[in-house]
A = this chain, B = another copy of it.
């Protein structure tokens, strides 16, 4: 860092010698390699961390939306205590299924990309699909949870039984799935924009 005129000092970090390969390092082709190398390795570390963080957030979203789906789908206790009598719960179930499918496919794709090192789509397209998909599914999840909350609340004022308890837990799982996906959407928004200039 203190000797920007001696780029060979930084060769232990794996940087190419700038005099021999001037076009290998796209972002920093100047001789000031001391600053550039540490900036690039910092950036690599950050991107690696973000990739893992995004995978964890998607995995959590998958888990929570799967739980929400299972709890709500099994919430049938006869008579008026069936979830499919209420449009709010049908909406919640539909969105939980959608979110399970979306996050499942995304998690599989990311695991595949990390393990094989190959990209299925072009990087920019995949970053854009990630961001838009995360955003839209997060909006749908918070919308479905919000729609189901007031009726459940009103039901639980009158009575507390297994039906209202299951509904409440399915709703909270949807809210957790929303929180994970909102985090993941922020990370993929970050990725989307950094892609544009590399």
Contacts and interface: CB of A to CB of B under 8 A. Distances in A.
Interface stretch (A6-14, A66-74, A104-112, A140-148): A140-148
A53 interface: no
Contacts of A193: 189-190, 192-194
A150 B154 CA distance: 13
A5 interface: no
Nearest to A144: B146
Interface in A1-38: 22, 29-30
A186 interface: yes
Nearest to A140: B142
Of A146, A147, A150, A153, most buried by chain B (CB within 10 Å of CB) is: A146
B30 A150 contact: no
A197 interface: yes
Contacts of A190: 189, 192-193
A151 B148 CA distance: 10
A182 B135 contact: yes
26 contacts: A22-B30, A30-B30, A87-B150, A87-B153, A88-B150, A139-B142, A139-B182, A142-B142, A142-B143, A142-B146, A143-B143, A143-B146, A144-B146, A146-B146, A146-B147, A147-B149, A147-B150, A151-B151, A186-B189, A189-B189, A189-B190, A189-B193, A192-B193, A194-B196, A194-B197, A197-B197
